[in-house]
Amino acid sequence: MPNTQTIYWKPSTSPNVVAYEILYSDTGIQGPYTHRDYVLSDIPGPNWNATEEYHFFNDVENPSRYYRLQTVDRYGKVSGENGPPPFQAGNDPVQAPNMHFVALSSDMGPGKDYRYVSPGGSNIRDATVRVFRKIDWVTRQHNKIIGSTTTNAWGHWSPIFVEPGETYVIVFNKAYEYGPTAVELTV
């Protein structure tokens, strides 16, 4: 059985992270970096050290190997280049990259009430709330939905996480009763 080496990282604090992608380079710190494996972000899980509160990955020993770490969310988005700098095995736990998301919800602070209400001001219950990037909405690419939820008895709805720096369209609809109503919002 070959010798192994271990890398360590702290969990991401971003919502919806389901896995970490481990990339490696055997040609030096500059790369190129190649996909090595995925580790689920389960806490607790098989790659979680509960005592020290970090994730780990055991790899075949290669003293010249460098690693990079990326996070993957439940929609398949990857954190990209904003992760920690390349590191080697035996490292102190690095901070996993955070995916910078903003929660769109019915209550986003003073003056930002996005509850779904009737023209008369009554709360609309059990309406569908869907979020799209504006470009996808205006080009009628309605299959490119970012997230969906429903309203409760008070017209409130659960958060849908989006990336900042984009314009989104929130679409409210209660079939055969209200809507669809589209609201544009830049985050």
43 — alpha (psi -120 to 50), left (phi > 0) or beta?
beta
Q: Is the peptide bond before 15 cis (omega within 30 degrees of 0)?
A: no
Closest CA relative to residue 128, chosen from 168, 181, 167, 75: 181
Which runs of consecutive H residues, i.e. helices, occur in 3-152?
A: 134-138
Show the tokens assigned to 41.
Answer: 């972000």
CA atoms within 13 A on the CB side of 13: 2
Q: What pLDDT does 140 receive?
A: 94
d(CA 9, CA 59): 14
Question: Quick check: 79 and 98 in contact, CB under 8 A?
Answer: yes
d(CA 127, CA 177): 9
At residue 38, the 3 state secondary structure works out as: strand
Domain residues of the chain, as ranges? 4-95, 102-186
Q: Extract long-range pairs of 82-85: CB within 8 Å, 24+ residues apart.
A: 84/9
Give the model confidence (pLDDT) of 117-165 as tens digits.
Answer: 999 999 999 999 999 999 999 999 999 998 899 999 999 999 888 877 8
pTM, to two decimals: 0.60
At residue 186, the 3 state secondary structure works out as: strand
Rg (CA), the chain: 21
d(CA 134, CA 90): 45
Below-50 pLDDT ranges, the chain: none
- Same CATH topology for 4-95 and 102-186: the answer is yes
What CATH number was assigned to the domain covering residues 4-95? 2.60.40
Q: What pLDDT does 128 receive?
A: 96
What CATH number was assigned to the domain covering residues 102-186? 2.60.40.10
